[in-house]
Chain A
Amino acid sequence: MRLEARASLSPAMAIAAPFMAVALTLAVAALFVAWAGAPVGRTYALIFEGGFGSRFAWSETLTRATPLMLTGLAAAIAFRAHLYNIGAEGQLYAGALAAVAVGGLHGGAGFDLPAPVLFAAMMAAAALAGAVLMALPAFAKTRFGVDEVVTTLLLNFIVLLFVSMMLDGPMKDPTAMGWPQSVALKEELELPKLVERTRVHAGLLIAVALAALAWAVLRLTTFGFEVRAVGANARAARFAGVPVTRTLVVVALASGAVAGLAGAIEVAGRAGYLTLDMSPGYGYTGIVIAMLAGLHPLGVVAAAIFVAGVLVGADSMSRAVAVPTYIADVIVAFALLAMLVATLSARFRLRWR
């Protein structure tokens, strides 16, 4: 058994790869479902129904997909430049905290500014908070060659502890009966719902628009060329005159800013306040989504909807049959592995000799 490089890459293979990966994932997850003693077909039908089978299911899936699109985008644009930002989780919380700091009802009042101005300031603060968190790893990487995987990952824990401190201290909501949660956002800053009596909010539009913007920038602009060139081969990019350090720093800040926005949009679109369990690992799941999407910004939108559908569907499925919701984690995790194998097999051929 051996791998042989394919003479040419067919675009059909590149498009088929993620679908093959998903099919393989479902086949493997079926073994676990069967192990749990549930009927495989019915379990999958329930997951699908819960994720995509009704108007309500779609609304829940899209709501869940919104932060995943943003964290997925944060990972995708950084990974394109070979900058491994594993810190989207921390940047998301930092963004959420900054949003509450600007737009929250401190002492029952908060900043006295017109709502549109305050909204813009809130979003800017969130983006800035995420970007600032990436500034240190970017500086350490470009100046001293420190591995950004380590720095961004470790910063997550620091940020989470800092948020925890703030939620138990200066930003604690005095009306929350002692729960560690932040003060609420001003009501006029909350994102409008897109559909009546659902939780889908305007953050979805922002996420999709940002994905489209990222796609256009990567494809059409000189900066996009710089990012792709640095990601593909930094030495050759530098030789051709691409400012490698500047490109890496800008990508790092942009990636952090998008993850920061994810936090603000999650606060403004859903709860209206910040708790420590706001994100069930959106930052990390974003990495999976970016990989599933082949680092393509528009692919991120589709991948986020798929993953969100599986997560939401598994929740509702587990209420009907006795398969734990962890099956969703198995599916998502295995989808990542299968995707890596699928991209490999698009470039290489397996020979059984």
Chain B
Amino acid sequence: MTDPVLRLSGITKRFGTLVANDGITIDLARGEILALLGENGAGKSTLVSILFGHYVADEGAIEAFGRPLPPGDPAAALAAGIGMVHQHSTLADNLSVLDNVMLGTEPLWRPLSRRREGRARLLDTARRFGLSLDPDARVARLSVGERQRVEIAKALYRDARVLILDEPTAVLAPQESEALFATLRGLVAGGLSVIFISHKLDEVVRVSDRIAVLRHGKLVATLPARGASKASLAEAMVGRPVPPPVAKPHARGDTVCVIDRVVVQGERDAERLHGVSLALRAGEISAIAGVSGNGQAALIDLLCGLRGADMGTVTLGGRTMPADPQAWIVAGAARIPGDRRDVGTIGDLPVWENAIAERYRRPFASGGIVRRHAARAFARSLVDRYDVRGGGIDAPARTLSGGNMQKLIVGRALSGGSGHADRYVPTLIVANQPTWGLDAGSLAWVHQQILDACARGAAVLLVSEDLDEILALADRVAVMHAGRLSQARPASAWTLAELGLAMAGEGARDAA
């Protein structure tokens, strides 16, 4: 091994009484892919934030390429060739992709932006690394997945020599993930080094050279990826064995939700549906695979009551449903949105108000007055039952970690506002990327909740870009591409290769 390109020694970071990073010492070698594993709140994000200069460590030092890296200076980190792809988008929404990538790369005194050169360079970068990008698309219009691609391109555009990727594959299709891995391997062969944060044990074992496991701010294990076992990694990460989700045997029921030749004319391709039909049965999990930006957003909006069909109908329990979220909630739709921070929760409101947000009029109000006592009691029972950890029911929802936020949303949706969540069965569960960015423990928990509700008789529509998730849960799978939906087939009737091809738009044309 050559000299390390990065050397973190004794990094400690405290937030009040919380020790987010506790004496972490770790090296990154040239040409190495180092995976950083850990549950939410284990300190992965804090560690890379310190590395990138967003936070200043209370103790410890960082050396990059043999020279000390000044703390708390993202510009210095950038200059040292450290590129970062964040988990949450740090792009300017109202600028184009090209603007976002070029932002900050040009001196301010230059009168005219060299957009032509920038565009050529971006397209060249994108082509070399196999990233599909539209330089002129406005970022506000992009899906989470597309945004992350822009973030990766942005770091590569800046000639990063150390690339830090925070959950990069969580939003990529298998082919794109493979392309990314191939890219990463090409990059490290050329002397780059990569720090890769992921919760997908499979790919961590497959892609990385070395795995560092963090738990409660401490580095609990560093081991070569070759020969590492998934079970032992999961256990090191969580601190206890993680049982895989189990589906209880149950009967299929009647069809409860019918999407019939629905056309949605969105403003751009990603928001269009061209005649989509699907029937969802009680006690059955139907999954929709596909690369983000192929119309899933429109389908989800339709089933969450956020938008109506321009042609065709959607019925739930035999009733044609309007574009009104409240009507869907009342009809028994349990909705788990893809964006927990911006859609699932209202960050500045306390946890208890978020817990009743879908049912603030009924049953948690009478005569226009919120039944505060009942609402808070319900929130407390929800927080207990679904183990939502954080500052309690009066803390603003935005202070919750991603996993706990998702527990709150899933609990709210599946309990139906009832204190006796065991007895409540939603008619339909609409889950959009329900485990995106979650750690192994939370992920298994969410899967188990969905399986249990399904076993009790809920129809489930799962939209996910994570094929592992789809194959672990779904009874039937359909693939969405360019606003069209393939025929739904039993999960066992698909091979991975077929799924991949259908996601890329090959061979899905027979149906739709």
Instruction: Choose from A226, A239, A351 the contact partner of B335 (Cβ within 8 Å).
Output: A239
User: In the assembled complex, which residues on chain B have CB atoms less than 8 Å from the CB atom of A229?
Assistant: 346, 349, 353, 357
Q: Check B347–A220 contact: CB distance below 8 A.
A: no
Decide: B370 and A220 in contact? CB cutoff 8 A.
Answer: yes
For chain A residues 205-243, which have a beta carbon within 8 Å of chain B? Answer: 220-226, 228-229, 232-233, 235-243
A238 touches B347 (CB 8 A): no
From the candidates B325, B372, B395, name the one contacting A238 in the complex (CB within 8 A).
B325
Give every chain B residue within 8 A of A4 (Cβ-Cβ). Answer: 55-56
Task: Given A229-B349, A233-B342, A238-B325, answer yes or no on A8-B391 (Cβ-Cβ < 8 Å).
Answer: yes
B410 to chain A, nearest CB (A): 14
Determine if A113 is an interface residue (Cβ-Cβ < 8 Å): no
Within 8 A of A (CB), among B330-348: 335, 337, 342-348
Could you tell me if A8 and B365 are in contact, using CB atoms closer than 8 angstroms? Answer: no
**B window 346-395: CB within 8 A of A:** 346-349, 353, 357-358, 360-361, 365, 368-370, 372, 391, 395
Tell me the chain A residues, 280-331 only, with Cβ under 8 Å from chain B: none
- Tell me, yes or no, whether A197 is within 8 Å of chain B by CB: no
Distance in Å: Cβ of A14 to nearest Cβ of chain B: 12
B348 → chain A closest CB, angstroms: 4
Q: Is B318 an interface residue (CB 8 A)?
A: no
Contact of B360 among A7, A225, A232 (CB under 8 A): A225
Asked if B329 and A241 make an inter-chain contact with CB atoms under 8 angstroms apart, the answer reads yes
From B306, B345, B360, contact of A222 by CB (8 A): B360
Are A222 and B368 in touch, CB under 8 angstroms? yes
* A353: interface (CB < 8 Å): yes
Contact residue among A2, A7, A221, A233 (Cβ-Cβ distance under 8 Å from B346): A233
Residue pair A239, B369 in contact (C-beta under 8 Å): no
A343 to chain B, nearest CB (A): 13
Contact A239 B304 (CB under 8 A): yes
A222 touches B346 (CB 8 A): no
By beta carbon, the residue of chain A nearest B335 is A239
List chain B residues, Cβ under 8 A from A238: 306, 325
Whether A237 pairs with B16 at a CB distance below 8 angstroms is no
B residues in contact with A242, CB < 8 Å: 357, 360
Bound Cα distance A226, B326 (Å): 13
Interface residues of B, Cβ cutoff 8 Å to A: 15-16, 18, 55-56, 71-72, 304-306, 324-326, 329, 335, 337, 342-349, 353, 357-358, 360-361, 365, 368-370, 372, 391, 395-396, 399
Known: A233-B342, A233-B347, A236-B345. 11 other contacts (CB 8 A): A8-B16, A220-B369, A222-B369, A228-B349, A232-B347, A235-B342, A235-B343, A236-B357, A238-B325, A240-B358, A241-B326
- 5 smallest CB-CB distances across A and B, nearest first, come from A241-B326, A240-B357, A7-B15, A232-B348, A241-B325
Q: Tell me the A residues contacting B by CB distance below 8 Å.
A: 2, 4, 7-9, 220-226, 228-229, 232-233, 235-243, 351, 353
